[in-house]
Amino acid sequence: MKKKISNQFFRNFLVIFLLTILDTILAFMLLSFASGLIAGSLAKNRYPASAIVKEDYNQIDASAVVENGGGVQVIDKECRVVYSKGLDTIGKDKLTVEEFTAFLKDSKSKPYHYDILYHPEGRFWLIVTFPTSIRLDFALVYNKAAAAGDLMRAGWVIAFVVLIYLSILALFAFIYSRITAASITIPLHKLCDGTRLLREGDYSVRVDLRLKNEFAELQNTFNDMAARIEHEISLRKKSEEDRRRLILDISHDLKNPMSSIQGYVELLMKNSDITKQERDQYLEIILNNSKRANRLLMELFELSQLDSPEFSLKLERTDICEHIRQICGELVPQLEKAGFEYDFNIPEDSIFALLDLDRFSRLIENLASNAIRYNPKGTLVTVSLALKGNQIFIDLSDDGIGIPDHLAEHIFKPFVRADDSRNSKTGGSGLGLSIAKKIANAHGGDLTLLPGKSKGSTFRITIPAI
C-alpha cells in the first residue's frame, strides 16, 4: 500500500515538475513580452542620445532628460567633460584614457542606464544617463559567424546548466513526494497494524498517531471502536460465564431434591413392611422436596419472564404509602411467627406512583422473606418511606447478621446467597433478590444494597413519583 501511494504521489509531483518547466519558459516569454510593452513608456527609450544629439553640443536641449531624472554629459576627444546637465555619475571634469575606458566597460554593472553615442563630426561622446528602475540582464544571442569551438562549448555549458536545474527540480519533487506520501502512509500503516491486531483478537490495541488533522479523528474513531468491541467482548464473556454458572447452579439445586425424592420413592417401593409412621415421614420428605423443586422452577420461570422482551407491567396510579402499609400489615404475622421485632415508618400523606401491585408486593415480600430466612430471632426489621424531589425511597433494614463484603457486590445475581453452603434448611433459592431487582428496574427504578452498615443490612428501593 505504501509503495503504491508513494508512486502515485511521485507521478503527481512529476506532473508538477513538468508544469514548472513549462511555467519557467512561459515566464521568460511573458517577461520579454512585458518588456516590449513598457519599452516605449520608459524615459530611457523616449529620450535616447540619438534623439537629442546636435553637431554643436552647446545646442543640445537636455531639459526633458533632466525633468525625468536623467542627465546629459559630453566628453571631447581629450576626455574632458565639456557639457554637463542634470544627473552626473562621472563626477570629474577630466578623465584619463584609462578612466574613460573603465567607465565604458563598467557601465553595464552600475544601477544606471547609459546611452552612449559618438559624434564623428564633432569628435565627442554624448552620454545620456537615467537611473535604472529594474534590469534583468539575460539575453540569448546566436551568431553563425562565431567560431565553431566557441559555439559548441557555449552549447555544452547551457545544456549542463539546464540539466543541473532540471535535476535539482526533479530531486526536490521526488523528495517532497516521498515526504508527503509518508505523512499519509505512516498513519495508515499504524492503523492497518491496529486493525490486524484487532482482527486477530487483541481487543486492547489502541493507536496513537500523535497528529491533529483528519487522521486524529480517524484514530479516535478506531480507538473508540476498539474500546467498544473490547467492552462488548468482556460483557459477552461475562454473560457466558454467568450462563454456565446459572446452569450449574440450577442443576445443583434441582439435583438434591430430585435425588431425595427418587431415593425415598425407591425405599417405599422396596419395603412394603415399613410402619405407617415411617411411611408418613418419608412421604412428608418427598412432599417438601417436591415443593422445593417446584418453587425453584417457578422462580426460574418468573426470572425468565422478567427478562423476556414481551414482558410488561400492569401499571396503575397508586397511593404507594397506603399500598406499603397494606403489605406491612400482611408481613406482621410472618415477623411475629419468626420472633422478629418490627418498626414501620410510612408517611400519612398520599404519594402516588405507577405500580404493578402484584409485582411490587412480590418485591417487598422477597426482601422481607430474605431478612426472615437468614437472620436470628429478635432481629429488628424496619420499613421506611421518604419522598425526595420526584424520587420515592423505600428502605427495608434489619440489624441482623448482615451480608459479607465479598458477596455484597454480587448479591443481586442469580443463585448468590449469604448461606454459601446451599443448606436446604434455609429454604432459599438464591433467586429472590434477582427477581426483586428486575421488578424495581421494570418500574423505572432500582434496588440497591446500601454500603457502610456495621450491623445488619439495608436494601433501598427507588422508583419515580408522579
**Radius of gyration of the chain from its Cα atoms, rounded to whole angstroms:** 53
Q: Is the pLDDT confidence value at 296 over 70? A: yes
Q: How confident is the model at residue 421 (pLDDT cuts 50, 70, 90)?
A: very low
Q: Provide the edge-to-edge strand list for the sheet that holds 81-86.
A: 81-86, 71-76, 124-131, 112-119
397 SS3 class: strand
pLDDT band at 291 (very low <50, low <70, confident <90, very high): confident
Buried b or exposed e, range 374-413, using 16+ CB within 10 angstroms: bbeeebbbbbbbeeeeeebebbbbbbbebbeeeeeeebbb
Residue 118 in this model has a pLDDT that exceeds 90 = yes
pLDDT grade for 386, boundaries at 50, 70 and 90:
very high
Average pLDDT for residues 253-275, to the nearest whole number?
A: 84
pLDDT digits (tens, 9 = 90+) for 364-377: 998 998 899 889 99
pLDDT above 60 (res 220): yes
User: 325 falls in which pLDDT band (50, 70, 90)?
Assistant: very high
The CB-side HSE value for 317 (13 A sphere, CA atoms) comes to: 3
For the chain, the average pLDDT equals 85
CB within 8 A of 245, min separation 6: which ones?
Answer: 415
Q: Provide the pLDDT for residue 384.
A: 95
Q: What is the full DSSP assignment across 341-388?
A: EEEEE--SS--EEEE-HHHHHHHHHHHHHHHHHHS-TT-EEEEEEEEE
Phi, psi of 92 (to 5 degrees): -140, 160
Residues 131 and 114: their CA atoms lie apart, in Å, by 9
Q: Taking 50 as the threshold, does the pLDDT of residue 1 lie above it?
A: no
**Percent of the chain whose pLDDT exceeds 70:** 91
Place 64 in a pLDDT band, splitting at 50, 70 and 90: very high
The SS3 assignment for 113 reads strand
Of 155-169, 385-399, 434-448, the one with minimum mean pLDDT is 155-169
Grid coordinates given for 305: 419472564
User: Quick one: pLDDT at residue 410?
Assistant: 80
Is 10's pLDDT higher than 80?
Answer: no
Encode 300-315: b = buried (16+ Cβ within 10 Å), e = exposed: bebbeebeeeeeebeb
Q: Domain map of the chain by residue range?
A: 1-42+135-198, 60-131, 215-304, 313-464
SS3 state at 445: coil
Strand partners for 316: 355
What whole-number distance in Å separates Cα of residue 323 and Cα of residue 306? 22
Q: How far apart are CA 403 and CA 453, in angstroms?
A: 10
Distance CA 436, CA 41 (A): 100
Percent of the chain with pLDDT over 90: 36
Residue with cell 563626477: 91
CATH class of 215-304: mainly alpha
Least confidently predicted of 129-143, 181-195, 249-263: 129-143
The average pLDDT across 77-106 equals 92
Q: How many CA atoms lie within 13 A of 265 on its CB side?
A: 10
Task: Assess whether pLDDT exceeds 70 at residue 406.
Answer: yes
Whole-number Cα distances in Å, 251 to 74, 288, 289, 293: 126, 18, 15, 11
Q: What local confidence, expressed as pLDDT, does residue 219 receive?
A: 87
Q: How far apart, in whole angstroms, are the C-alpha atoms of residue 340 and residue 332?
A: 9
Q: Which of 28, 301, 283, 289 is nearest to 140 (CA)?
A: 28
Can you spell out the DSSP letters for 177-198? HHHHHHHHHHHHHHHHHHHHHH
Distances (CA, A) of 312 to 182, 316, 438, 462: 58, 13, 12, 19
| Nearest residue to 79 via CA among 127, 112, 125, 113 | 125
Residue 199: its pLDDT value, please? 86
- The structure's pTM equals 0.48
Q: What is the pLDDT of residue 57?
A: 92
Averaged pLDDT, 224-232: 89
CATH, domain range 313-464:
3.30.565.10
Q: Cβ(370)–Cβ(433) under 8 Å?
A: yes
